Structure 1
Amino acid sequence: MPVKPDILKVTATAKSRLFQVEEIELRFSNGVERTYERLATRGRGAVMIAAIDEQENVLLIKEYAVGLEDYLLTLPKGLIDPGEDAIEAANRELKEEAGFGAERLEVIKQMTSAPNYMGHKITSVLARGLYPCRLEGDEPEEMEVMRWPLSQLDKLFQREDFSEARAIAALYMIRDKLKQE
């Protein structure tokens, strides 16, 4: 098993309202020293919700993705607020973004994106027993909600407006889990 490198120094090099870039000076067990950059981990992480209705449809939202400058279909998601766990955050975000609450929520997997450059984690949650319930959120506009049959996920994955890797991974895991039940 490799020995983790020693962290010699951490320096904040840039900061915005959402992100902080850090420079990390490391010494590896063989004596080699390197400097890396990363987006600093802040907060308690985030949740992504695969909400399944009684007809075995998954609820999707259409959300503006500023990084791509376009609207995309994705799963409801958001940050875990102080005092919340992943399940509480998932139910709140589902109510804010899709207008539904869930009677049963289950953590599926905590996932990372680009862990060599950032420590952000998102927890995928399966939500069932849906009921209408809307909470006001921080979104600048109401999101369009679309129901997509689980039996047709392969067609969803082929759409150009459904491209978020975390959502695709979560839906593969959910589909496999539901097949085993």
Structure 2
Amino acid sequence: MSKIDPAKTLPLIHHREIVAQSRLFKVERLDLEFSNGATRQFERMAGHNRGAVMIVPLLNDDTMVLIREYAAGTHTYQLGFPKGLIDPGESVLTAANRELQEEAGFGAKELHEIHTVSMAPTFFNSDMTIVMARDLYPQSLPGDEPEPLEVVKWPLSEADKLLAREDFIEARCVAALFLAQKWLKEQ
């Protein structure tokens, strides 16, 4: 295994420019110079990185709460964990409990940050914190979804069957499932 150099010098950013923009996204071009003198132009999604949360809710030791919602990128309905952006001024755990109430109709008395993942760090500045939610109680808040989300209860003991489904394919959900299983074993 090779060593990681923690003192590696970051490339210099000589110029930044927004080269495309939509209602939701900005594409930023960076003119970079690396420590060895090489120069490159990179494009990335520009953002403010408010952060996001994904919640793995447990009704009991063997029952997860999932939601089924429309995924515009694949034009399908996908099964996954509740998730959403952290609002300005919110903590990770406050955002997780709010999203859980908005999307799944449950609040949680017990919340734990278990890991932070990034979707594609080469192109996005977007972190998502995975949160375990336990000791759930019925509690709903209005959300921003265009239609009611279907709530699906799934046995944790049947995680392999969940992974085999064609509608449970989001990489962050798969990672959250494995991270949750690891976290639960360590408790």
TM-score (norm 2): 0.94
Task: Report 1:125-164 matches (<5 A).
Answer: 125-164=131-170
Deviations 1:105-145 (A, max 9, x none): 01011110111111111111000000000000111011000
Indicate the residue corresponding to 2:22 in structure 1.
16
Equivalent of 1:81, from 87, 109, 113? 87
How far apart are 1:43 and its partner, in Å?
A: 4.2
Q: Kindly tell me: are residues 109 and 155 of structure 1, through their superposed partners in 2, closer, same or farther at Cα, counting changes over 3 Å?
A: same
Is there any run of 5+ residues in structure 2 with no aligned partner, and where?
A: none
Whether 1:173 and 2:173 are equivalent positions in the alignment is: no
Aligned length: 181
Task: Report 1:48-67 matches (<5 A).
Answer: 48-67=54-73
TM-score (norm 1): 0.97
Indicate the residue corresponding to 1:107 in structure 2.
113
What is the alpha-carbon distance in structure 1 between the residues aligned to residue 89 and residue 149 of structure 2? 26
Indicate the residue corresponding to 1:121 in structure 2.
127
How far apart are 1:180 and its partner, in Å?
A: 2.2
Indicate the residue corresponding to 1:46 in structure 2.
52
Whether 1:90 and 2:65 are equivalent positions in the alignment is: no
Whether 1:7 and 2:13 are equivalent positions in the alignment is: yes
What is the alpha-carbon distance in structure 2 between the residues aligned to residue 120 and residue 19 of structure 1? 12
How far apart are 1:56 and its partner, in Å?
A: 1.9
Q: Percent identity?
A: 51
How far apart are 1:76 and its partner, in Å?
A: 0.3
Indicate the residue corresponding to 1:72 in structure 2.
78
Q: Which moved more, 1:104-113 or 1:53-62?
A: 53-62
Whether 1:30 and 2:23 are equivalent positions in the alignment is: no
Q: CA RMSD in A?
A: 0.9
Is there any run of 5+ residues in structure 1 with no aligned partner, and where?
A: none
SS of structure 2 residue aligned to 1:52: strand
